[in-house]
Structures are given as structure tokens and as C-alpha cells.
Structure 1
Amino acid sequence: MMRERKRRVYKGLVISSLLLLFSWSAFSQQYRWRSKPQHTWIFGLGFQAIDDYNVPFGDLFKGGRTWHLLPYPTRLSAERNFNYGIGVGGLLQYNQLKQGKFVNEVTNPSLVHVVSFDGYVKYRFNMKYKKVSWFDPYVALGLGYTMRFSSASSDHITTNIHLGSNFWFTDRIGVQIETSAKFALGASYPAHQASYLQHSASFLYRLYPSKRQKKSKQRYKWIRKKPKGNANRI
């Protein structure tokens, strides 16, 4: 039973990765992309839902039963972009495992507060297309730490894979749709009782470096001051 669940998880991740690779290759053959990003930072604020059903891809789209979602933004993100589509970033997220919903295939008996910290390295397939600048898919790998404030469960370090895309409306404003699989480290890897899926939707704002060039100032202007009149005159 455990092996079957692992196979389902790996199969789903492989299929998702192949779909992203296919979309990237299709676009890259048609449009030339830049190796150096024009922007440096991307900040996000959004909503996120925890799916802790413990059955990989079971009841995946039945959010009313298995998704734990709060009605206000609970996700903060910051990302620094470098050349060739590489970026690094961090996430701070808060959520609640609500009473009466499913957690690990059983009804959750009480409210549980959940806080997670995540760091990742990201590869963006479409960093800046000349003609298709609005579509920005990516894959990211990283580590995280999830704290569950409940006596029935403990805190765990997780290894994470993030699959998603940014959709840009303007040069600075966009939205992000992402699904993350978090595999908890434990006596057995992955520790299914502590592993979970996380889905998010965020508003994005990206910063561009200043284009103003600093003018070099002479500290002692009188050194190079040209003499007035004829300098050789006696």
C-alpha cells in the first residue's frame, strides 16, 4: 500500500514536469529569450490552501473536504532573479487545519495552526520572451520547515518541489498560480503522515533596477581648472 502511494506521487510529479518542459520547448523554438533579466526582485502576497489528506492525488479537486483555506492573504514571498532564468527566494506562510475537515484520511478533531518557512532555487522556463512576455512558467526545488501547533503532531523539515507559472498583466503587476509538494523527513522518507500538498494564488509586483547613471564628481575642481586668458603671457 505504501509503495503504491509513493508511485502515485512520483508519477504525478513526473507528468507535471514533462508538461512544463513540453510547454517551454514549444515556446523556445518560436521565440528567442534573453539570458539576462531586466528586473531584479519579485514580491508576492497571496492565498494558500493545505491539502493534508495523505492520499497522493486523492480527492485532489474536492476542496470543500480536504483543502484548508483562510479568507485572507496568508502567504508572503520574495525572490531575487539572476541570469539565465535562475532565481532564489523564500516563503513565509500561515494556515489552519480546520476542525471537521479531513487530515490524514480522518476527520480533524480540533483546530491546528500551521506555520511554514521555505527557501528554494527556481528555474524559469520563460524569463522574458520578446512576444510572449505574459506567460512565465517555472519549477523550483528547496527545503522548508513546517510547524504544527498541536500535541498530536510534531514539526518537520521538508524537501519541496514547486510547479507553477506567473502571469503578467503589466511590466510590474501579475499573478502567480502554484502547487507545491512537501515531503517530510523522518525515519522513513517521505514521512506520509507529515507530508502534504499546498496550492497558492498570489499577487505579484516586480522591481526594476534604476537606469539613472551616477555622474562622477571631481573632489577638487580647482586642480583641473583651466586658466583664463593666455597662460604664457608675462
Structure 2
Amino acid sequence: MKYFKTTLLVILLIMGTASLVAQDKNNTWLIGIGTNAIDFYPTNANLNGHGRWFDEFVNTKDHYNILASVSKLTIGKYLTDGFSIEGAASLNRISKVGDNSESNMSYVSLDGAVKYDLNEAFGETSWFDPYATIGGGYTWMDDFGIGTFNGGVGFNVWFNEKFGLNIESKYKHTFESNIVQHFQHSLGFVLKFGGNDRDGDTIYDKYDACPDVFGLVEYNGCPDADGDGVIDSKDDCPSVAGLEELNGCPDTDGDGITDKDDACPNNKGTKANNGCPDTDGDGVVDKDDACPNVSGPSLNKGCPWPDTDGDGVLDKDDKCINEVGPASNNGCPKITETEVAKLEELFKTVYFDTGKTTFKSETISKLDEAARIMVKYSTEKFTISGHTDSVGSKSRNQELSDSRAQAVKNYLITKGVSSGNLTAKGYGEEMPIASNNTVKGRAQNRRVDVKLID
């Protein structure tokens, strides 16, 4: 009785652990049914009619006790890191104890065990799943019973994600002599279940990129409401089919500008004119141009008007009356490609201290030179983008990159650049220009870039 109580306590402690461990893999429950064989022969060399360890280990004809029916039931629960717990009940009829014959004694056992998936040590395999097991239980033969300490090995052969074949050999060591040590072999089928699918789209949460929203298999469980091949979370126009290169938005006239941003969605135009055409290139789009085929100033509805420098901007509106410049720049010259390139090179040398918005000392002179160019072209507008290395969390890096871009903008303003000509935005760690695995690379990634806004 004391061994029964001890064994029962061990099993209850093992089973109780299951309620304390949250699921962390799909199909965490397992049930199995099968048949079992009891062999007393190769474990009791000191007893008459028995052999030494593992003698005639697979002599099924002479030593195995097999009940030709479903005689074993198993239920298991996955824990974590390859470990699971298992409870098993089995029955048999004993007619052979070694080379000795018996009068068909009944055999009943209840066992609990901890199992370890050997794939955790050997490397994952898709269909072959070996394991080791250790535990204890209680065994009855006719009207007497005894506690056992059990250890064994086995494997599952999976036919698909849930259903497979199980083969196991387990040694049972008894604590008293009325039931001698023995092996229990089993063969059966196992079924895994319990996978989570919160959104009901048949894709388990583990593999679902959008586990809380019903989606499609081809998009890893994410939805695409308009069927344009761009999932809703990345689609700027989720209700209207569009183009992948335009983030899921349509472009009816094919000018590369989405309809929602296109002032002339049915007429091919340019980005500078918000998607509208300007046939005569006078800065007045055709729909507003009274002379669409002849260049003229906008104040005269696109028709010719006095213009000293002939740049298409009326003298009264031309802030650089003797210098040719586009209407979009109030008649003043645009910054040259050479100087734009110079600005981009200067900004490549703007570096930050790790985790901070402070500049490294060598970057100050670069920012000063960049400010002088921007002040010279007072009508040009620029966008400043901030970037970080990968040290720290993504949310922290996003916040840091925003702050760094704003720090550069604020510094340029102190040097005379108009705040209205500058915009600043951070992109976190998403756009590295060097490896984040080296100190030098991370320093290069802590940077800002500048682009001219056309």
C-alpha cells in the first residue's frame, strides 16, 4: 500500500503540472491506442527459467504475452522545449513468465511518465520522432499489485501533421518480488490535436501572419479584401483593387500616381503637376490653361505675358527677374544636381552616439556646410530621414530615429535654413547601409539622409 500511495502521488504531481504550463506549440495534446506485449524473460537472470539482460529480446513466440485486441490507451500533453507528460493504462493476460507457464493471470497497469523528444538534440525531422521516457506506475497481476519505476525509448512515425504510428519498449522495475521485473512493448496509433486558430481561417496561429483576422492561405493567413494581391495591412486602398508597386492603389491613367492622389485621374500627367498634364510646359496644367499649347504665366491663365528673363514667370511674380527659373520655384534658379549630390554626401557623414540624439563631434562641420547650401537656395525644400542601428527594441529605435531626424532639422534651422523648407521623419532600424554586426557598421547606420523634394 505504501508503494501504491507513493506512485499515485508521483503520477498526480506529473499530471498536475499540465495545468500550470501554457500551450506554446500547435497540437499539444496526444492520444494513442494500441496493443502491448509483456516479457519477463530477459530481465531476471537469477530466477529459474529466465535469461540474462536482453537475452532473446524479440522471442515473441516463446516469451511474449500478447492480448490480441486494443489493450493500451495513452494520453499526453506537450509542455515545453521537447518535454511532455503522459498517462497510460494497459491490460494483458499472462501465460508465460520466462520459460514457465502460468494460468492466464490478469495484468493491469497504470503509468505516468515524462517524455523527451530526441529531435530537440538530434535536429528536427518531419516524419520520424524518437523519444525517451521515464516515470512510474502501479501494476496488478490477479489479486496482488506493486509500484514500478519505468524507463524506455520509442518513436512515432507521422503519416501527416496529426496521425502516426507509435512503437515503444519500456522496462518496468518492481520494488518487491511478487511481480518480477519485465519489459512492456507496445504498438499502436497516435493522434495529435489542440492546435490554436483564433480567426478560424484554417491556418494555425503559429503560422498565421494575421492570427486575429480571417485571411487566405496564400497570404499566410492575412486578408486581401479587394483581391489585388496586396494584403490589407499593407494596402493603402484596401477596398479598391490596385497595383502592388503603388501599395495596392489604382492608377487609371497609368502615370505612376495613384488615383487618390491624382488631380487628373483620367489624364496622364506628371508628379510635379499632381498627375495632370501640362502640354506647353508653362507650369499651368491643361485643365486650367487658357492657352494649353502656348507657354504663358499662370496669372494670365497660361497665356503669354511680359516676362523679362523668359522663364515663364511674370515679372511681377518673379523673385529673380533677371535669372531664369521655373514657375514652381517663383522664377528663381533650382539647385543643381551637383549641389544636391554634395548635400547627400555631407549627410552621409552625420553620425550619432549609440542610443542618443547627440552628434559625433566630426559631423558639426558637415552640417554647417550643408546649411550654407540650403540657405543659398532658399526656395528649395528637403526631407530629412533618420535611421538607427539595430541595438535596442524596434519601437525604441523608431522613436530614436524620429528624434534624430528632428535634431538635424532643428540644427539646420539655427543656421538660417527656413523651417518651412524642411521635413523630418524617422525609419528606425529598417534601412541599414552597413552591417549591424560590427561597431563600425552600427556607427554608419546611426545616420540621417537628405533628399530634395521635387
Could you state the TM-score of these two structures normalised by the residue count of structure 2? 0.35
How far apart are the structure 1 equivalents of 2:25 and 2:148?
30
Q: Which amino acid aligns with 2:119?
A: N
Give secondary structure in 2 for the equivalent of 1:155: strand
| Contact 1:156–1:194 (8 Å) recurs in 2 | no
Percentage of matched positions with identical amino acids: 30
**Structure 1 counterpart of 2:153:** 163
How far apart are the structure 1 equivalents of 2:145 and 2:124?
45
Match of 1:204 among 187, 190, 203: 190
Sort the Cα spacing of 1:52 and 1:131 in 2 relative to 1 into closer, same or farther, 3 A: closer
- Runs of 4+ aligned residues of structure 1 deviating over 3 Å after TM superposition are none
Give secondary structure in 2 for the equivalent of 1:64: helix
* 1:103 and 2:97 matched: yes
Larger strand proportion, structure 1 or 2? 1
Q: Which amino acid aligns with 2:109?
A: S
How far apart are the structure 2 equivalents of 1:200 and 1:192?
23
* Map 1:60-209 → 2, pairs under 5 A: 60-98=57-95, 102-108=96-102, 110-126=103-119, 132-149=125-142, 154-186=144-176, 191=177, 194-209=180-195
Question: Between Structure 1 and Structure 2, whose CA radius of gyration is higher?
Answer: 2
Give secondary structure in 2 for the equivalent of 1:59: coil
**Structure 1 counterpart of 2:423:** none
**Structure 2 counterpart of 1:57:** 54
- CA-CA distance at 1:131 after TM superposition: 6.9
1:49-105 CA deviation, whole Å, 9 max, x = no partner?
00022333122121111001011110000000022001001000000012xxx3144
**Structure 2 counterpart of 1:39:** 27
How far apart are the structure 2 equivalents of 1:131 and 1:124?
10
How far apart are the structure 2 equivalents of 1:183 and 1:163?
15
Q: Which amino acid aligns with 2:145?
A: D
- CA-CA distance at 1:44 after TM superposition: 0.1
Sort the Cα spacing of 1:211 and 1:202 in 2 relative to 1 into closer, same or farther, 3 A: same
How far apart are the structure 2 equivalents of 1:130 and 1:157?
35
| Contact 1:145–1:157 (8 Å) recurs in 2 | yes
| Contact 1:43–1:79 (8 Å) recurs in 2 | yes
How far apart are the structure 2 equivalents of 1:74 and 1:131?
31
Could you state the TM-score of these two structures normalised by the residue count of structure 1? 0.66
Q: Which amino acid aligns with 1:78?
A: I
